[in-house]
A and B are shown apart, each in its own frame.
Chain A
C-alpha cells in the first residue's frame, strides 16, 4: 500500500493567505513530481504519447451522437466541488429515504410521498455506503431524482474504472435512458445542444435538492436535533477563501430573489472582512438540504432602471445559471480591449428605454424615457458563459464562427469588482476550469469535445464539515476517525507538496478527508500524465520561470489526452476560418484576500 511520507497532501491552511502565484501551484500540484524526477525519467522513458487506450482518467464511449452528453459529463466531473457535493446529496437522499421507510413501517400510514411519479425501479446501488439503505428503499422516486442518482452512479463507475486502471470506455447508457425518460426533448439519437443538457442536468439536481428539503420539512421528526436544515449555505472550498461569509449571511432562498424595490442608493455589499472567518460556522454548513447548485452555479443579476423624468431608481434582482454572451456576427476589427473587457462589455450592459419602448414609471404614473443597466450583484462560484454561437434566422439555426478569445483568467465583472477604484485590486477574479468546444458548421452535424483542467480537486474534500449522520451510513464516526488515514490512500499518488510537515500537522489538527473521494472522486493516473509532461519539449527558461504548469485533459468521447497549458492555449488561439469554437466556458471564482 501507499506510503504516506512520499505523498504529502497540499493542505491549505485557512490562516495562510493564498497569493496569486500560489494558486496555480496547488491546483496543478500533482504535476510537481514529474519535474523533480525529470532527469531520471527522461532517460528511462523517452516516448511522447501514451500508448493507445492508455488514458489518465476513465473515458466515456460515444453511443451514437452522444458527444453532447459526454462533454457535459466530463465537464461536470472536473468542475470544482461538484462531485463532492453530488455525493453528499445522494447520501442525504438515501438517509432520508431510509428513515422515511422506517417511519412508514412504524406508522403504516404515511400520506406523503416523495414525488408523484414512480420511476422504473432504479436504485442508488452505486455507493458501497448506500447499498444497505437502498435495498430497503420503498419510497417511489421521481424521475428527477433518478437522473441525479444515475449521474452519481456514473461517476462512481468512472472512479472504479480508474482504480482498476482499466482503459475501457464506459457507456453511460443508464444515465442517458434516465434523462430521456425524464425529459422527452433528449429522445432519439440526434445530436443535442450541450448547453441545453447542462441546464437540464443542473436544474434537475437543484430540483432534487429541493425535493429533499421538502421531504424533510414535511417530516420534521426524521431529523435528529443536530441535523436542522440550514438555509442555503456556503460551500467549503469557497469558504476557505474570503468570500465564504457572504453566502452564509444570505438568508433568502435564491429562487425567491426576484424582488423589486426602490433603493436609496445604498446596496448590500457583497464582501465582508476576512477576519470574520471562524470555525464556528462549519457545523451549520452543508447539512441536509444544502442546495449546492443554487450555491455554486447561481448568480444574481441586478436590473437598475432610472426614470429620466423623476430620476427615481428601481432595482430588480433575478437569479441566473449561465450568462449568454452575444457574439458579433461580423469579424469586427478587434479593439484593443482585453479579453476581460470584451466579456465585461458583453455582459454588463446599459440601454435607454425610449421611443415605442418607454418605461412605465410608477412614480410618474406614465410612460417615460428611462435608462436601464444590467449588472451582476453576485456572480456564481462556477460561472458558465454560453457563447451565443447558434442564432435563429429565417434560414434556420446558424452557427456564428466569429473568434472570441478564451482567456485562462478573467476579471470578475460583478458589481463590487466593477466599482473598485483604479488603483485597487478587485475582490474576485475567475480562472478557466472547463471548456466545451463545438466543432463543425452546424448544430446538427457538429461534434462536442470538452477541455478540463486536470485536477482531482483534492482540496474540495479536505476538512469536509459534513459528518455522516450517526449510525446512518456504514461507518460510525469513531470508526471513521480511526480509519482516517486510509482516506488518504487513493489520492495520494498525485498530491505532492514541498512541505511534508503539513500533513502530519493537519492530521493532528483533525483535518480529515471526506471519504466520498473514495466513492466517486476523480483519480488521475499520474503515470500517463507524467509521460506527456516529460516528453513535452520544454526549454530551460520556461522551467525556471514558469514553474509547474497546469495540465489540461482533452476529452473527446473515448479518447482523453492530457495536454499542457501551452498546447491548450494554442488550441484556443485564433485560427482563420476555423469552425472549432469554444461554446461553453466554465470559470471558477477566486477570491483574493488583500495583502494588508
Chain B
C-alpha cells in the first residue's frame, strides 16, 4: 500500500521540525552524485544528488532542479519514454515525477529503511525498488503515474527471501528476471512475472554493489566490494568469469548493448572498459578525482557520463578498437563537464548559539545566521580553526538546535529531546532586536525561529503582543519528520500559505510547536542554583548574623547578570536588610541605606573577578567549569 498523504503520525515517535539553509536555486550539486539517467530524445541528463536534489540538464546546461526528497537520492530511473522519472532515496521513499515539468506526482512510503536501488523493465514499464529493509517491491509504472490525491492507493508485489540489506538491483528489459546484490555477498534471483524465487549465486566475498543483466536474461555481471567483477551464466547458475581490473571495491557497472564489453567504476577512482571475450584486454577510460558512483552512456554510446562522490559530472570518450589494440592513446581530459558546487564539510556552532561557521569542500569558510536562515558572510579560503578562535566570545548560551551536514547543506533540527529547542533565552539586546521597547526583555531563540518558519501558516501573523522579529526566506524547505526516522512532510516556508499545504500541515505539525507559536505560551526559564559567600575582607559588622553561619543558597534564571546578583547582595545581605527599593529597580548609582553602591560590590568565582554584565550561565560554564552548584564570593571594593 502506498499513499499520497503525508505519513500518519506515529504517536510514539516524536516529531521534529527541520529546515535546510540553502539558496533560492541550488543550480549545482552540493555533494556526490549517486545516479545518472539520459533522455536521448531531448538530450537531457538527469542526476540524482546526495544533496537530495535531482537536477536536469538540457544540452549540458542546467534546466531545473527537482526538489522533494529530504535525504540522499540513491537511484533514478527514466521511464515511459522520458515522461516520468522514478527516484529512490534514503528518506525511505520512492517518488514518481513528471520528468518534463519536474514536479513530484506521488510518494511511495512502503519501504522502512533507506531505498538504495531501482531496476527497470522497459518492455513492461515495471520498476522494482529495494533497500536496507531487505525488501524488494515491484511497481507497475502506469498505475503509479495514474495516482491522484483521491485515488492514492496502489498494490505492489513483493519479492520475498532476502536475508540482508540490498545494495543493488537489476532487471532485463523484458522483465523476465530480476537480480539483487546484498551484504549477504550472494546474488538472489526472482522471476518478476510471478514473483517466484529462483536461486542464489554465491562467489563474492563482500557486499555486491553493482549489477547488470543481459537483455535476454541469460547472463549477469556483478561488481563487488571484494574488488572483483563476476560474469554469471544464469542458465548454468554459475560464475563463468572473474575479472580483477580494479584495485578496490567495484561500485558501478555498465554493459554494452550486445554484452561484448563491460565498463566498471569503483573506489579506486578508475573507470575501466574490459572486453568480455578477452578479459586481459582492458582499457582505463579515465581516472576520476573521487570514487566513482555511477556511469551512463551518452546518446550515441560513444562516451560515458561519470559521477563520483564529488559533485562534478564528467563525460569521457570510450575507447575504440584502436585503443584496445594500443594503437592510440586515451585522452586524459573529459570531453564535457558539468561543474558541481562545494559541499559543506564542517560546521561549528559559535558560542552565541546563533551563528555557524562552515568550511566547504573547497576550503571556503562562510558564516551563517540560523535565526535568519541565510548565509551572511563569505570569508574565503581562510584558516578555519583560527577563525573559530577569533570569533570566540566568553558567553554561554545553551544548545537549542542540532546541525546535520548529510546533504552538504546546513540542516537545522529543532526538537524536544536531548537538545530542547526552547532552552536558549537571551535579551532582546543580545539577539540584535533594535525596535524592542525593553532591550532587557528575554526572547527565546527556538520560539523566534519556529514563528518565522510557520509565519505564513494559518493566521500565525504578526500580532503586536507576539511580535515577530525575524523572517526566513520563503524558499527555505521546512521538513517535519520523526526523530531519527522517516520524513512526514516537506514544504517550502513560502508555500505554507496554500490550502493543500495548510491541510497537510494541520495533520503533521506536532502539538508542542502549535502551542508555542499560537498560544503564545512563554515556556520555562532555565534555573541555576548557586551559593553566595562573603569574602573574608567583608567587615563582619556589615553582615547579618546568620550570614556568617551558612552560605546563602539561591536560585535564579540562568541569564541573570552578575549586576543583578550584586544588587541582591547590596539589598538583602549587607547592612540591616531594610533596603527600601524593591528588587530589580535598584538604581545602581544611588547609595543605598548602608552607604555602598552596586559598583562597589565585586563578585568573584574561583578567584576571578566577574564582569557585571556577565550572566550566570556564562560564569558557570567558563569560570566555575563544574556541574556542581556554583559558588560566588562577594567583597566591597573602594570602601569609604
Residues of chain A whose beta carbon lies under 8 Å from any beta carbon of chain B: 308, 310-311, 352, 354-356, 364-366, 369
Contacts and interface: CB of A to CB of B under 8 A. Distances in A.
Given A356-B484, A364-B406, A365-B406, A310 B132 contact: no
A356 B133 CA distance: 11
A352 B183 contact: yes
A311 B406 contact: no
Given A310-B291, A354-B132, A365 B405 contact: yes
A369 B484 contact: no
B47 to A, nearest CB: 18
Given A352-B164, A364-B406, A369-B183, 10 more contacts: A308-B167, A310-B291, A310-B309, A311-B225, A311-B249, A311-B267, A354-B132, A354-B165, A355-B132, A365-B405
Interface string B371-392: 0000000000000000000000
A311 B292 CA distance: 13
Interface string B233-256: 000000000000000010000000
Contact of B207 (A308, A355, A366): A308
B113 interface: yes
Contacts, number: 29
Interface in B177-210: 183, 207
Contacts of B225: 311
Nearest to A308: B207
Is the contact region of chain A dominated by helix, strand, or loop, or is it mixed? loop
Interface in B137-167: 164-165, 167
A115 B339 CA distance: 64
Interface residues of B, number: 20
Q: Please provide the 9 A-B residue pairs with the shortest distance between their CB atoms, ordered closest to farther.
A: A366-B406, A365-B405, A365-B406, A311-B249, A369-B165, A311-B267, A311-B225, A369-B132, A354-B165
A263 B293 CA distance: 22
B309 A308 contact: no
A222 B71 CA distance: 63
B413 to A, nearest CB: 13
A90 to B, nearest CB: 37
Contacts of B249: 311
A366 to B, nearest CB: 4
A355 B113 contact: yes
Nearest to B133: A355
Contacts of B72: 366
Contacts of A364: 406
A371 to B, nearest CB: 8
29 contacts: A308-B165, A308-B167, A308-B183, A308-B207, A310-B291, A310-B309, A311-B225, A311-B249, A311-B267, A352-B164, A352-B183, A354-B132, A354-B165, A355-B113, A355-B132, A356-B484, A364-B406, A365-B345, A365-B404, A365-B405, A365-B406, A366-B71, A366-B72, A366-B90, A366-B404, A366-B406, A369-B132, A369-B165, A369-B183
A355 B92 CA distance: 12
Contacts of A369: 132, 165, 183
B441 to A, nearest CB: 38
A356 B484 CA distance: 8
A238 B393 CA distance: 54
Nearest to A356: B484
A355 B183 CA distance: 14
Contacts of A355: 113, 132
Q: Which of A354, A365, A369 has the most CB of B within 10 A?
A: A365
A308 B291 CA distance: 14
A354 to B, nearest CB: 6
Contacts of A365: 345, 404-406
A266 to B, nearest CB: 15
A365 B405 CA distance: 6
Contacts of B113: 355
Nearest to A365: B405
A308 B251 CA distance: 11
Interface in B488-540: none
A355 B291 CA distance: 26
A68 B482 CA distance: 51
